Chains A and B, each alone.
Chain A
Amino acid sequence: MNLHEYQARSILRAAGVPMPDGDVASTPDEVEVIAARLGGKVVVKAQVHAGGRGKAGGVKLAATPKEARELAGKILGMTIKGLTVEKVLVVPTADIASESYVGLIMDRESQRPVFMVSAAGGVDIEEVAATAPEKILRLPVDPRYGLFPHQAMGLALFLYRDFAQARAAAGIMRQLYSVFIANGASLAEINPLVTTPAGAVLALDAKISIDDNELDRRPDLALLRDESAEDPSEVMARKAGLTFIKLDGNVGCVVNGAGLAMATMDLVKYYGGEPANFLDIGGSSNPEKVVNALRIITADPNVKAILFNIFGGITRTDDVANGIVAATSQFKVNLPIVIRLTGTNQEKAFEILNGVGMRALSDMDEAVKQAVALAKEAA
């Protein structure tokens, strides 16, 4: 789960990381009040989960509170990569002498949190990693011991020659590490970490992602989720216990298991179609999940055909068949449905479907081909 910049800022500031004052607003009036309080020039920043906010016109500099208000009027409500801007962050401008990058990620290879720091800050760190890897210092941290003071100092001295600045930066490294562990983060980064002409070290922008697996035991973190920043169908799916990701195609897919769900989408593409979604109903056999899955998929006006692909291992295919029958009796599905069921209780499932005049297939390729053809006919 990605946090908004203003949420990441408030967590880091609470941990003691020096960041300029600022506040979040959802109306131009509020923006004007905040800008007047901060005084001087301010930056108005769109709060959406999308990269490239600046290029999209979502980050603007204002000389006066009145200008901040006008700019906020334009940014609030604008769409960036399909997401509507509901909130803006207002922060004072800072005089910058140098910009660095400080990031902490959960690294799959070393199986530890890894610091990445670079004096080439304020830019895309992936690009630096690809073009000038020597400009990045990487340090895996053993989570059993935490970040030792000398390790924090080593990272800081890679960025700053001035010892006072290095000491300040080392403190920020330790604070960032504490925030990462305390919040079950998968990523926490400060970009840029700047020095001012007066010599102060400040964090200007921050990003934090929380490991989704932490949210069950951390209801306080789950409260930070901004549902207005997500696709409504994905919010509905999560509440129904389904994993759903909306795509742009017209073949709706209902599958059990994440790997098989991806392979099903790929096969739709292989046979000339476009998948409308990723949807995993999981391993349990609950007919209600099937009903919810069909509701979510039929709500997408792009969908022209629905494809079920169920391999019954733990999932009982007769439960899925019962779910399909229940859904079609609860609400009208005006789309062609192609059903592939194989495995546990397959004969029973076929009987249930035949009983209501529906047919099922047992071959995945045949089912995908039929669904793609039906979607093309209807398009």
Chain B
Amino acid sequence: MSIFVNEATRLVVQGITGRDGSFHSKQMIAYGTKLVAGVTPGKGGQTFEGAVPIFHTVADAVAITGANTSVIYVPPALAAGAIAEAADAGIQFIVCITEGIPVLDMAKVMPFVREKGARLLGPNCPGLITPGVAKVGIIPGQICAPGRVGLVSRSGTLTYEVVNHLTNNGIGQSTCVGIGGDPVIGTNFIDVLEAFAADPGTDVIVMMGEIGGTDEQKAADFVKAGVRKPVVGFIAGQTAPKGRRMGHAGAIISGSSGTAEEKIHAFEAAGIAVMRRPVDVVELVKARLNN
């Protein structure tokens, strides 16, 4: 079992002929993802790698191939428009990898996505992977293994570090989800926790947060109020200075709010086991998987 992507996922790649889009499309196909269509305006009628049909629009891709999930690799200035196009075409699950989208663009497109009843993951995220079944995005498949740990994170390579520790110690994952490091995102920690809590294939949840905002604190309240599965957590940025944007647009301590200390405290108060180092994930998860 898994969340968000599974055997029924039929993927369309927006920006399939671009540098990043084509590289990662090959990786997703090699991993076994059902990549049924690509979209590049102006290249409709061509094929990608001699096998995947390319369309001018997402609406065409949906009508002809039955795509139900989309992943976006288009430049920042066009990305919010690409999200709207996918939602308008009836895609129910949209993953946006693009980094650097102006926040006002996201603020305008989010209400539209909600009206269409779609779920957006990202932007500025590594996507997600259900090991052994499908990957949508850029998470390297070789570091993951099928299993019963659900992982949700705001970052990319830090997620890989933790997944790698799990896999090397024989602990597989149900689904690994990167929600992204931007201030305005489509899917937050609570959305993913809710899905993992309801997933019969997930026994333990790992939540990787960072400084900035209050999403982690709210997620901690949500865990306390009703998640019956054990949760292990991490917060990056304990040594980050105030008022500086730490790479991710959302990773900034504003005034005195959004510090690592405040978030770790919220985790502990909610009964979430906090890792001090990424490697601690192994012992903390092991102890909870066996219970």
Contacts and interface: CB of A to CB of B under 8 A. Distances in A.
Interface of A: 106, 108-109, 111-113, 126, 142-144, 181, 184, 186, 211-214, 216-217, 243, 245, 247, 255-263, 265-270, 275, 278, 280, 283, 311, 313-315, 342-344, 364-365
B239 A269 contact: yes
B111 interface: yes
A65 B247 CA distance: 45
Nearest to A342: B164
Interface in B54-113: 76-77, 100-104, 106-108, 110-111
Given A259-B156, A269-B238, A364-B278, 17 more contacts: A106-B183, A108-B184, A108-B214, A108-B250, A126-B256, A144-B111, A211-B102, A213-B101, A257-B157, A257-B247, A259-B157, A261-B247, A266-B237, A278-B240, A313-B140, A313-B143, A315-B157
B138 A314 contact: yes
B154 A259 contact: yes
Interface in B125-161: 126, 138-140, 143, 153-161
Contact of B77 (A217, A259, A280, A313): A217
A111 B246 contact: no
Contact of A247 (B101, B184, B239, B248): B239
B251 interface: yes
Contact of B140 (A216, A259, A343): A343
Nearest to B218: A109
B208 interface: yes
A184 B248 contact: no
26 contacts: A106-B103, A108-B215, A112-B107, A144-B108, A184-B103, A184-B104, A213-B249, A214-B102, A217-B77, A256-B157, A257-B155, A257-B158, A259-B158, A260-B155, A260-B160, A262-B246, A266-B238, A266-B260, A278-B240, A278-B246, A278-B247, A313-B143, A313-B157, A313-B160, A314-B140, A343-B143
Contact of A184 (B102, B140, B164, B215): B102
B255 interface: yes
Contacts of A142: 111
A257 B214 contact: no
A108 B184 CA distance: 6
A263 B184 contact: no
A275 B239 CA distance: 8
B277 A216 contact: no
Contact of B76 (A213, A268, A269, A283): A213
Contacts of A283: 156
B106 A262 contact: no
A268 B277 CA distance: 10
B30 interface: no
A338 B173 CA distance: 31
Interface string B258-291: 0010000000000000001111000000000000
A184 to B, nearest CB: 6
A343 B144 CA distance: 12
B111 A213 contact: no
B183 A108 contact: yes
B192 interface: no
A261 B246 contact: yes
B116 interface: no
Nearest to A258: B247
Contact of A108 (B159, B213, B239): B213
Given A109-B214, A216-B76, A364-B279, A263 B103 contact: no
B228 to A, nearest CB: 26
A202 B43 CA distance: 56
B241 A216 contact: no
Interface pairs A-B: 7 shortest CB-CB: A259-B155, A258-B247, A257-B157, A259-B158, A262-B236, A260-B157, A262-B237
Contact of B210 (A262, A313, A315): A262
Contacts of B139: 313
Contacts of B248: 258-259
A221 to B, nearest CB: 11
Nearest to B154: A259
A216 B98 CA distance: 14
B181 interface: yes
B184 A111 contact: yes
Contacts of A255: 157
Nearest to B257: A126
B140 A344 contact: yes
Nearest to B251: A258
B251 A213 contact: no
B106 A111 contact: yes
Interface string B36-68: 000000000000000000000000000000000
A258 B246 contact: yes
Nearest to A218: B102
A280 to B, nearest CB: 5
B26 interface: no
A111 B140 contact: no
B236 A259 contact: yes
Contacts of B241: 245, 247
Contacts of A364: 161, 278-279
Contacts of B236: 259, 262-263, 266
A216 B100 contact: yes
Nearest to B181: A258
A143 B108 contact: yes
Given A113-B107, A258-B181, A263 B76 contact: no
Kindly name the residue among A108, A211, A212, A216 whose own CB sees the greatest number of chain B CB atoms within 10 A.
A108
